[in-house]
Structures are given as structure tokens and as C-alpha cells.
């Protein structure tokens, strides 16, 4: 009998894309995707290690799964993703865990699962610097309109606080032909939006028999291959975002005018300790160029407070930078030491927890204020929105996103998921816009 497999995904969009790769691999070996955890034969958790609380969530989930296994004899549980790579051995010791596979080992998953019937526990976390999952067909979900396409895997930047280079291994770029082929498949399946993914998309570089394709070349090819599809990308490292790319975005209609450009900190001293390889001045110049070449470009960021040595003055520099840039939105965190990183080994975690909490809440308050103000500036404008589905609050309302990545909620009229509609904005809060469809 074919076994049913249920996956839960934590962490970043790369993990979301990887879970699809995993399902695709498992399907070729006759496993059947299952969406109800109570009905499945195999549970897989695709995990994240970026902050301690991300890992804590998994340990808690494993305690729940230990209980579920008592009720459901024969249920197998596997851990994949970044936590599997970082502490696979420790995870295997947990009563609930049967198999572990790191991000470069997903082709072996069907075997690892089958072997749990013979061996007690199975394990594979070798890095394979050539693995890009070439030849694995992307999973097309019925009725889905938005898809992710990884273009690079791994990271070589070694920001001093970050675990990703250790969990994902060295950076490698996927073949432009594989990527364009996936674009074609998504296009044929009526997708309306594609997001190109990488820890640092700007370092994409693919050598096709002597012809080198960089990120601006790639995104232009993707946009041309699918002129009716919205193209997005994430993440850009500020040190590598080129004028070339900014001009390609400005000059290509279906590349969304939105750039996620994580700054992390506004203080030069802290940026240097973080090994980010740019200064506050460099960053602000990049933002100025973006604003000049792409008027109205949506801007978002990742920022965290409480890194080693961050003084009140350093923190004020971060707030000051946030006010100068005026992001539309930002993901904000407090520093969490990751064992094995340069910072964990060499830099003291010396900002007290209560100060981290205080600074984080100040950042969030400021960003909410900025977002709200910027969103209010949209009132009265008519914006193109890609409908993503029903609003959580009401079946009569739809929600979607503008090209600047702002969420808009509006009465549905005749529109449905996957439609592009013109919406006149009538109200704005810090997180969403409200409006009415106009013809
Ligand atoms: N490759 C992307 C994002 C990687 S992780 C980039 O370079 O921007 C996503 C975000 O998590 C980071 O941008 C950073 O803001 C945050 N982050 C990473 N490590 C962290 C840590 N140890 N503590 C707190 N936040 C962290
Ligand atoms: Fe981590 Fe830096 Fe790589 Fe982003 S660029 S994944 S923050 S090491
Ligand atoms: Fe987390 Fe790994 Fe992504 S650590 S943020 S799932 S690359």
C-alpha cells in the first residue's frame, strides 16, 4: 500500500520551495501527499534554525508528535531542513524522531523513509555542493497562482550572527535552463506570480558554456519568458545590488517595483561587527538610487536589535536610518546567538534581554507609524491588485497585493483568485489598505 506523507514547513520561503521539491521527489516513489496529520503514515517537519525560538517551536512540536505516535502505531516522523543539518544527531535522540535529512539530501528521502522499516533510525546530512535539484519537476498545486523558484542555494556571506551558511552550505547557482523551464511550467499552469529565491539573489552567476548569466540577465529572461506573470525576487544583499538590476526593474513592466533590502542595523560599528561589508552611507546611497530610478518603489527590510556591542547610540542610528528610508514594511527581530557562528565564538552577547525587548518594541512602534503614514498616502489612488483569495474576516471580501507588495482588502464583486483588478484605495492602516474595485 502506498504510504501517505504530511509535511509541515517552518522558516523562510526557501523552505516552502524545498517542501514542494520533497513532495515532488516522494511522489515519483509512489508516496501520496496528505493534508491531515491525523490520517498520515509519515510526518515531516521542514525546520528553521535562524533564531532560538524557531528551534524551540520544533522541540515543542516533537513532544506533541510523541503523543500522536502513541495513538497511531507505525507513524514515522522525520526532520528535514536547517535544524536537521545543524543538530541532526541531537534530534535523532528524541523519542519521536525516526529519520533526519539535511537540505542537500532530499533525493535520498524515499530510501531513508523505507529503511526506517528495517533499521531503527536513518540519517543523512552530507553537503553536496553540486545539488540544485536539477530535473525535479516543480510541484503544481491545483488552483495555485503564485509560485517560488529557487535560483541559488546556500550562502557564502558568513554574516557573523547567521547560521544559514552552516545549515545550507556553499552557494551554488541553478542552471538558467532549469529555471526557465520551471517558469514555462508555471505559466502553462496559469500561475500569475513568480518569486525568484536565494539568500542573496544578486550573486547569481551561471556559466553556460562560457556565456555567464548574472542576476539582471536572468530576471530579464524570466520576465520575457512570461510577460503576463508578475515577477518578484528575494533576498537582495545591499553590498551586491547593482545599478544594472535597478535599471532592469525600472525598464521591465512585469518585474514588480518592490525591493526587499535587509539593512540589519543603521550603525557602521555594528554593521562591521556583523560582517555585512557595507556602510550606512553605502546603503542610503543605494536607497537613493532606487528611489530616483524607480519612483515609488516598494521597500522592505530585515532589521534586528541587541547585537553584540550595540549601544543606545548605535540603536538610535538604526531608528534614524528607518526614518530616512521610510520602509513600507520590515521584519524586526532581537539578536539570538547561534552556536558555531563567528559571533557566538568571538563576540559577547552583551545587550541585556530587557534592553533587547525594549529596543525591539521601539523599532516596531516606529515602523508601524511609518507604514501607516505611507499607506495613507495611497488613499485615492487606483492600484492594480492580484487577487490571492478570500479575506480571513469575511467571505464577501477578497484580498490581494499591489506590485509594491501592499495587502489590499476589498468587496469581491465578480472577481476571483488569480484576477488582476483595479482597486481604488479608500482606507489605510499600518498593515493593510482597503478599497473598491473600479472597472
Ligand atoms: N539571506 C537573507 C536572510 C536570511 S535570515 C539576508 O541576507 O537578508 C532572515 C533574517 O533573519 C535576516 O535578515 C536577519 O535579519 C535575521 N537573523 C538572522 N540571524 C539572526 C540572529 N542570529 N538573530 C536575530 N535575527 C537574525
Ligand atoms: Fe545569513 Fe548573511 Fe547569508 Fe543572509 S547573506 S543568509 S544574513 S549569512
Ligand atoms: Fe531558517 Fe534555514 Fe531559511 S535557518 S530562515 S529555514 S535558510
Residue 254: CATH number of its domain: 3.80.30.20
Ligand closest to CA 197: 1
279 lies in a domain?
yes
Look at residue 419 in the predicted model and tell me its pLDDT. Answer: 97
Are 214 and 250 contained in the same domain?
Answer: yes
Q: What value does the mean pLDDT of the chain take?
A: 96
Q: Is 157 in the pocket of ligand 2 (CB under 6 A)?
A: yes
Q: Is 162 in the pocket of ligand 2 (CB under 6 A)?
A: yes
Per-residue pLDDT reduced to its tens digit, 243-276: 999 999 999 999 999 999 999 999 999 999 999 9
Please give the average per-residue pLDDT across 328-334, as a whole number: 98
Q: Identify the residue whose C-alpha is closest to ligand 3 atom 7.
A: 164
Are 348 and 312 contained in the same domain?
Answer: yes
222 lies in a domain?
yes
Angle at 200 between CA 198 and CA 206, to 5 degrees: 75
Residue 142 burial (CB count, 10 A): 5
Distance of CA 76 to the CA centre of its chain: 28
Q: Is 50 in the pocket of ligand 2 (CB under 6 A)?
A: no
Please give the average per-residue pLDDT across 372-394, as a whole number: 96
Are 238 and 106 contained in the same domain?
Answer: no
Q: Identify the residue whose C-alpha is closest to ligand 3 atom 1.
A: 48
Are 345 and 386 contained in the same domain?
Answer: no
CA contacts within 13 A on the Cβ side of 268: 5
Residue 68: CATH number of its domain: 3.40.50.12160
> Domain residues for 262?
146-376
| End-to-end Cα, the chain, rounded Å | 53
Q: Is 234 in the pocket of ligand 2 (CB under 6 A)?
A: no
Look at residue 51 in the predicted model and tell me its pLDDT. Answer: 98
Are 46 and 83 contained in the same domain?
Answer: yes
Look at residue 142 in the predicted model and tell me its pLDDT. Answer: 79
**Residue 224: in which H helix or E strand, if any?**
helix 215-225
Instruction: Give DSSP secondary structure letters for 19-49.
Output: HHHHHHHHHHTT-EE-S-GGG-SEEEEEE--
Q: Is 12 in the pocket of ligand 2 (CB under 6 A)?
A: no
In whole angstroms, give the CA distance from residue 35 to residue 124: 25
Are 120 and 57 contained in the same domain?
Answer: yes
Look at residue 138 in the predicted model and tell me its pLDDT. Answer: 76
Q: Is 286 in the pocket of ligand 1 (CB under 6 A)?
A: no
Last residue of a domain, one of 359, 376, 393: 376
Are 157 and 208 contained in the same domain?
Answer: yes
Are 386 and 347 contained in the same domain?
Answer: no
Q: Is the pTM of this model over 0.85?
A: yes
In whole angstroms, give the CA distance from residue 254 to residue 258: 11
Per-residue pLDDT reduced to its tens digit, 128-152: 999 999 989 878 777 899 999 999 9
Look at residue 350 in the predicted model and tell me its pLDDT. Answer: 97
Evaluate if residue 377 carries a pLDDT over 90: yes
Are 102 and 212 contained in the same domain?
Answer: no
Are 305 and 397 contained in the same domain?
Answer: no
129 lies in a domain?
no
Which atom belonging to ligand 1 lies closest to the Cα atom of 163?
A: 19
Please give the average per-residue pLDDT across 196-215, as a whole number: 96
Order of all β-strands in the sheet with 298-305: 258-260, 298-305, 329-334
The count of structural domains within the chain is 3
Amino acid at each position: 500500500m502506498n504510504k501517505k506523507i504530511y509535511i509541515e514547513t517552518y522558516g523562510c520561503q526557501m523552505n516552502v520551495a524545498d517542501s514542494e521539491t520533497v513532495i515532488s521527489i516522494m511522489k515519483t516513489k509512489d508516496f501520496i501527499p496528505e493534508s491531515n496529520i491525523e490520517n498520515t503514515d509519515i510526518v515531516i517537519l521542514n525546520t528553521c534554525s535562524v533564531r532560538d525560538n524557531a528551534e524551540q517551536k520544533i522541540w515543542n512540536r516533537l513532544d506533541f508528535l510523541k503523543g500522536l505516535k502513541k495513538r497511531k502505531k507505525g507513524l514515522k516522523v522525520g526532520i528535514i531542513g536547517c535544524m536537521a543539518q545543524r543538530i541532526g544527531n541531537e534530534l535523532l535522540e528524541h523519542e519521536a524522531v525516526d529519520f533526519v535529512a539535511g537540505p542537500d539530501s532530499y533525493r535520498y528521502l524515499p530510501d531513508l523513509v523505507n529503511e526506517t522499516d528495517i533499521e531503527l533510525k536513518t540519517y543523512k546530512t552530507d553537503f553536496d555542493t553540486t545539488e540544485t535539484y536539477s530535473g525535479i519537476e516543480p510541484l503544481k498545486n491545483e488552483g495555485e497562482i503564485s509560485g517560488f523558484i529557487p535560483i541559488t542555494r546556500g550562502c557564502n556571506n558568513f554574516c557573523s550572527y547567521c547560521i544559514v551558511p552552516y545549515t545550507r552550505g556553499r552557494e551554488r547557482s541553478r542552471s538558467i535552463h532549469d529555471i526557465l523551464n520551471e517558469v514555462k511550467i508555471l505559466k502553462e499552469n496559469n500561475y500569475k506570480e513568480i518569486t525568484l529565491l536565494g539568500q542573496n539573489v544578486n550573486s547569481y552567476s551561471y556559466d553556460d558554456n562560457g556565456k555567464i548569466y548574472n542576476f539582471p540577465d536572468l530576471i530579464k529572461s524570466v520576465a520575457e519568458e512570461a510577460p503576463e506573470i508578475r515577477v518578484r525576487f528575494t533576498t537582495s544583499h545591499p553590498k551586491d545590488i547593482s545599478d544594472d538590476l535597478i535599471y532592469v526593474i525600472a525598464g521591465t513592466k512585469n518585474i514588480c517595483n518592490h525591493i526587499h533590502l535587509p539593512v540589519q542595523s543603521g550603525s557602521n560599528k555594528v554593521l562591521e561587527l556583523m560582517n555585512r561589508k557595507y556602510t550606512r552611507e553605502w546603503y542610503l546611497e543605494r536607497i537613493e538610487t532606487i528611489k530616483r530610478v524607480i519612483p515609488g518603489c516598494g521597500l522592505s527590510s530585515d532589521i534586528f536589535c541587541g547585537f553584540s556591542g550595540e549601544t543606545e547610540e548605535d540603536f538610535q542610528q538604526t531608528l534614524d536610518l528607518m526614518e530616512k528610508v521610510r520602509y513600507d514594511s520590515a521584519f524586526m527581530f532581537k539578536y539570538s546567538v547561534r552556536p558555531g557562528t563567528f559571533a557566538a565564538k568571538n563576540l559577547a552577547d552583551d545587550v541585556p534581554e530587557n534592553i533587547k525587548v525594549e529596543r525591539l518594541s521601539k523599532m516596531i512602534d516606529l515602523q508601524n507609524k511609518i507604514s501607516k503614514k505611507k499607506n495613507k498616502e495611497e488613499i485615492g489612488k487606483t492600484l492594480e491588485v492580484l487577487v490571492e483569495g478570500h479575506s480571513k474576516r469575511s467571505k464577501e471580501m477578497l484580498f490581494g497585493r499591489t506590485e509594491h507588495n501592499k495587502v489590499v482588502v476589498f468587496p469581491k464583486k465578480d472577481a476571483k483568485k488569480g484576477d488582476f483588478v483595479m482597486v481604488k484605495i479608500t482606507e489605510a492602516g499600518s498593515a493593510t489598505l482597503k478599497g473598491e474595485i473600479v472597472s
